[in-house]
Amino acid sequence: MIDSAAPLGATSEVGPLRTVLLHRPGPELRRLTPRNNDQLLFDGVPWVARAQEEHDAFAQALTDRGVEVLHLATLLAEVLAFPAARAELIGAAVDDPRLGATLQRDATRHLAGLAPEDLASALIAGVAHEELRGHGLAYQLMDRSDFVVPPLPNLLFTRDSSVWIGDEVAVTSLAMPARHRESTITAAIYTHHPRFAGAEQLYASSLEHLEGGDVLLLAPGVVAVGVGERTTPGGAERLARRLFARGLAHTVLVVPIAQERATMHLDTIATMVDVDAMVMYPAVADSLVAWTVRATDGSPTHPADDTDTTDLAVTGPQPFLTAAAAAMGIDQLRVIDTGLDPVTAEREQWDDGNNTLALAPRLTVAYERNTVTNAALEAAGIEVVRIAGSELGSGRGGPRCMSCPVSRAPL
The residues annotated with a catalytic role in the active site are 401
Residue 345 to residue 338: CA distance in whole angstroms: 5
Residue 359 to residue 365: CA distance in whole angstroms: 7
Helix (H) or strand (E) holding 234: helix 233-245
With beta carbons less than 8 A apart as the criterion, state whether 259 and 204 touch: no
- Which sign does the torsion angle of CA 398, 59, 63, 406 carry? positive
Would you call 59 helix, strand, or coil by DSSP? helix
With beta carbons less than 8 A apart as the criterion, state whether 57 and 402 touch: no
β-pairing verdict for 357-360 and 363-367: antiparallel
Amino acid at residue number 94: V
List all residues 6 or more positions away from 130 whose beta carbon is below 8 Å from its beta carbon. 144, 145
List all residues 6 or more positions away from 177 whose beta carbon is below 8 Å from its beta carbon. none
